[in-house]
Structure 1
Amino acid sequence: MRPATPRLRSPLNRPVVGLTSYLEQVRTGIWDVSAGYLPADYFAGVIAAGGIAVLLPPQPVDDEIVSAVLDSLDALVITGGYDLDPAAYGQQPHPTTDEPRTNRDAWEFALLRGALDRRLPVLGICRGAQVLNVAFGGTLHQHLPDVLGHNGHRAGNGVFARLPVRTVPGTRLAGLIGESADASCYHHQAIDTVGDALTVSAWDGDGVVEALELPGDHFVLAVQWHPEKTLDDLRLFHAVVDAARSYAGSR
C-alpha cells in the first residue's frame, strides 16, 4: 500500500493552493532552456490573500501522480496561457490558434477531473475558464475578431485591455464582486457553447461569456479575465483561499 502523501502545512495553517504553470523555452542570463514558469502576480495574489502558493508544471499524466499532487492541495488554480488544442472540442485549428501544448492540456484536464471528484475548490483564470468549459463538453470561438469584427479583447504587445463586465444576479460571482467589474483582458478566444452543468456568471458588452461557475456549494468558478493584473482587488483570490481553508478544515 502506498503511504499517505505528506500534507504541506505552515505554522499558521495557511491553505495550500496549487497553480498550473507553463512549460516553455525560456532565456535567462546565459541559459536558454525548457522551463516551468508562471508570472509572479498569480502567486502574489494567492500569498496576499493568505494562502501558500505551489506551482504545478506540466508532467506525465498518471493517476498516482495526479492523486498525490491533489492530496497535497487545498485548492487548484488553472492559470492563463496558450490556446487549447481544438481537437479537445472537436474542431480543426484556426490559422491564428497557437501550436498545441498537448502536455499542458492533458495535465490540466487530469488535475481538474481529480479536483472535481474530491470537491477541491477550483478557480480558473482566462485559459482556465476555457479548460473548465471544454472539460464539461463546451466549445470555444477560436478567434474572436472573426465573430465580433474587432480586437478589443486583446490589444496585443502585452497590453491588457480593460473591459466592463456585468455579473449575473444570484450567481456566486455576483455575490463576490457585485454587479460589475472592470476586467483586465488578453484573449483572442472565448467560450462559445457553454459546457453541460455550468452556469454563465458574467458577460461583457459584446455578449462574450466572461465567467462560468458550477452551481451549488462546491467552489468551482472561472473568469475569462486576469484578476492577477489588479492586485489592489483581491476578492477572487480571497474567495479561493477562503474556500481552500474551509476544504482543509473539513478533512
Structure 2
Amino acid sequence: MPLIGVTTYLTRARWGAAWDLPAALLPAAYPAHVQRAGGLAVMLPPDAPSTAPAVLARLDALVLAGGDDLDPTLYAARPHPRSGTPVPERDHWELALLNAALNRGVPVLGICRGMQLMNVHAGGTLCQHLPDEVGHDGHNPAPGTFADHPVKPVPGTLTATLLAGAPLDVATHHHQSVARLGAGLVATAYAEDGTVEALEYTGRAGFALGVQWHPEVRDDLRVTEALVRAASLSGPSGLS
C-alpha cells in the first residue's frame, strides 16, 4: 500500500478536561479518506523547509490539506480585512514540500488551501475574499459547515477524465480563491459563478492536481483513488 503524507494545521487546540496547547492537528476525514482509497496515511506537521526533500524521499504521494489562509505577502498583496492570521511555519513548510514533490515527480493532490498554495507556488495570486468578486457567500455560507454546489470540469483534462459520468456536486467551504493563474497551470473545472475549482500543470508528467472542494468529507473517492494509483506506480516506500 502506498504511503501518503498529509499536511496538518499548526494551531492552538483544546482537548480533554484541561488541555489547551499548541497542536499539529488534522480533521480525521483526511486520513480516513486516504485509507478508504487504498493508501496508508501519515501526518506531516510543519518542520524546517530544508527537510522537505528528505521527507518526500520516503513518501509515495503528498496531500496538501485545507486550512488557514495563506499569507498574502507570498503573492505580493496587502492583507484584506477578512483574511485570517498568517501561519508562516505552515506556509513555508508546505511550499517546500510541494517544490520537492514536483522536483521528484511524487504525485500531489492539493485540497482547498492546498490548491491555492499550488497556484501561489507557481507565481499566481489569490482573491482574498470571494464574496467581493462573485456577490454571494455560497462557497462558505456558514462557519464550520460544508455546503454543496455543482462544478463543471473542462473537457480533455485529467479532471474531466477522473470525474466523467454523473453531474458533479462538491463539498465547499472557502472564502478565498484563485485569481491570476500561476505559470504552467491551467484551470480544469469551474463553479457556475466562474470560480476556479480545479488546477492542473501543463507540460509536466505525473499526477499533480488541485481541487478547491473537499473530497474528504463526501463519499466520492475518484480523485483520491487516482492519487493512490499514481503513488502505487511511482512511489519509493515499498510498503505492502
What TM-score comes out, normalization by structure 1 length? 0.91
Counterpart contact for 2:47–2:89, Cα < 8 Å: yes
In structure 2, the residue matched to 1:52 is 40
Whole-Å separation in 2 of the counterparts to 1:175 and 1:250 = 28
Q: Deviations over 1:206-230 (max 9, x none)?
A: 0010000113431100000000010
1:92-103 correspondence runs (5 A): 92-103=78-89
* TM alignment of 1:188-227, pairs within 5 A: 188-215=175-202, 216-227=204-215
Aligned identity (percent) is: 51
Q: Is the 8 A contact 2:60 2:236 kept in 1?
A: no
Distance 2:223 2:32 in 1: 13
Q: Distance in 2 between matches of 1:183 and 1:199?
A: 20
- 1:139 paired residue number: 125
Equivalent residues in 2 for 1:87-166 (5 A)?
87-166=73-152
Give 1:73's aligned residue. 59
Q: Look up the equivalent residue of 1:92 and give its one-letter code.
A: R
Counterpart position of 1:38? 26
Question: What's the offset of the Cα at 1:47?
Answer: 0.6
State the Cα distance separating 1:18 from its structure 2 match: 0.2
Secondary structure of the equivalent of 1:33? Answer: strand
Say whether residues 1:23 and 2:7 are aligned partners: no
Structure 2 length normalisation: TM-score? 0.95
Deviation of 1:250 after TM superposition, in Å, equals 11
Structure 1 segments (4+ residues) deviating >3 Å = none
What runs of 5+ residues in structure 2 fail to find an aligned partner?
A: none
CA–CA separation in structure 2 for the residues paired with 1:130 and 1:157: 20
Corresponding residue for 1:187? 174
Q: In 1, Cα distance between the equivalents of 2:12 and 2:119?
A: 28
What amino acid maps onto 2:214 in structure 1? H
Structure 1: stretches of 5+ with no match in the other structure: 1-13
Q: Which residue of 1 aligns with 2:228?
A: 241
Residue 248 (structure 1) shift: 2.2
Instruction: Indicate the SS of the match to 2:49.
Output: coil
Displacement of 1:249 in angstroms is: 7.1
SS in 2 for 1:218: coil
